[in-house]
Every structure is written in C-alpha cells, then in structure tokens.
Amino acid sequence: MPDFPPLAEKVDFPPGRLVDFPFGRRVDFPPWTPPELSTTLYPTADARVDQANPDLNFGLDEDLSVLTFLLEEQERNQRSFLKFDLTGLPSGAVITLAKLRCFCRAVEELESGVSDAEARRVTDDSWVEDEITWNNQPAYGSVEDTKVPAVGWVEWDITSWIQNEWAGDKTVSICLKCVQESYDDLERGSVYHSKEYDGYDPELYIEYTIEG
C-alpha cells in the first residue's frame, strides 16, 4: 500500500494565494473581502441662522432653512448647520460611503444654479446649538456636494469629509447654503425638518468595513 502523508489536523487558507495540497492538487483562494456594514447617526446639534435677524438664535426651531433673498437691498439669506459625533463607530472602521440626508418639507421659487443646496465643510466644531446666530456662525469651507431640492428626502454625498473627520477629531460639522445668496427679491430655496421636529430627523448614513 502506498505510504500516504498524514492528514493535517488544520489547514490555513491564506487569502489570495495558491495553496499546495498533498497529491499535487493546487487551489487558488481569492482575497478575502470584508463585509459591508452600515449605520445611521443623528445630529447632536442643528440650527438655522438668519441674516435678517443676525443676533437671534433658532436652535430650538423645527425647521432648517436654506434660502437666498435680497429685499430692498437688504440681504436676508438663511443657512443651516448640523453637527454629528462619529465616536460610536467601531474602532478600525474604514468608511466607504457617507450621505447627509434631510427631509425637505417645502421648496420656494427654485432657480437652477441659484437655490440649489450646497453641503459645505465646517472645520470649527465649537458652535453650540442654542447659541449660534448669523453673526457668530463658523466659517464654511469647500463644497462636498450640491443638490436640487425637492419635497422628500434629499441626500448629499459627503464621504470625503466624513473620512477626513473620522481620521481626525471624530466630530463633523456641515453647513447647508444656497449656491448664490442675495440673488433677487424673491425668497428662493428649501426648508427641512430639524431634529426638534417629531419625526424625519436629519441623518448621517454611513457604510463601512472593518480592517483585519
């Protein structure tokens, strides 16, 4: 009887490598792909700011407004700010997709390239929901995504910004504003539910994998 080699009690299958088995058989195991996971986060703070009322705080308001308006040469634009805490994500998470989702309850006098809603980076996370006003709002940065608003859920792809903040302080701030502010004497733009509204809270939807 042939002298067969003893059977191994355990065989490890390294991903992406050819494995030599006894008797000359070779098996190619494809690289291991980590499973895609997802989570939805809700804002720790959100508020609109109103240029017509530059020292008033609207942190407890049920609306987030993104409006462009110029009335009798007075600028009356409105922007909205949102903040999210990423520390609930598991250690080792690799973010592959991130979308800001807000429920639009109304649109007004939309004009293409004017009232479209931009999602912009905000690097200063020190603003406070019940203190932020037009006069003390943090500066906004580069545009992550721009959407034509419509009643219903509106989504902005902000993946690169979330990846950046996940690698940093794990707190994310975002500003929503119209592409062209102070455009004309018609109030143009969109209005969204804030977290103070009973239902339809803003969301940060994230897809990720786990390293290792």
Domain count, the chain: 1
Does residue 1 lie in a domain region?
no
Does residue 20 lie in a domain region?
no
Does residue 28 lie in a domain region?
no
Q: What is the per-residue pLDDT for 151?
A: 98
Does residue 86 lie in a domain region?
yes
Of 169, 134, 174, the C-alpha closest to 156 is: 174
Name, of 26-30, 35-39, 164-168, the range with top average pLDDT: 164-168
Distance CA 118, CA 121 (A): 10
Q: What is the per-residue pLDDT for 36?
A: 84
Q: 149-161 pLDDT, tens per residue?
A: 999 999 999 999 9
Of 23, 21, 26, the C-alpha closest to 3 is: 23
Q: What is the per-residue pLDDT for 72?
A: 87
Q: 84-124 pLDDT, tens per residue?
A: 999 999 999 999 999 999 999 999 999 999 999 999 999 99
- pLDDT-derived band of residue 184, with 50, 70 and 90 as boundaries? very high
Distance CA 43, CA 183 (A): 30
Does residue 10 lie in a domain region?
no
Q: What is the per-residue pLDDT for 11?
A: 46
Does residue 8 lie in a domain region?
no
Mean predicted confidence (pLDDT) in 68-74: 92
Q: What is the per-residue pLDDT for 2?
A: 52
Distance CA 172, CA 152 (A): 24
Of 176, 178, 201, 205, the C-alpha closest to 103 is: 201
- Whole-prediction pTM: 0.84
- Residue 162 sits in a domain of what CATH number? 2.60.120
Q: 35-66 pLDDT, tens per residue?
A: 689 999 999 999 999 999 999 999 999 999 99
Where does 53-123 have alpha helices with state H? none
Does residue 191 lie in a domain region?
yes
- Structural domain span for residue 159: 37-210
Residue pair 177/89 in contact (Cβ under 8 Å)? The answer is: no
Dig out the tokens for 62 from the structure. 């049920």
Of 104, 117, 94, the C-alpha closest to 174 is: 117
Mean predicted confidence (pLDDT) in 19-38: 63
Q: What percent of the chain has pLDDT over 70?
A: 83
Does residue 202 lie in a domain region?
yes
Is the pLDDT confidence value at 144 over 70?
A: yes
Of 63, 76, 101, the C-alpha closest to 203 is: 101
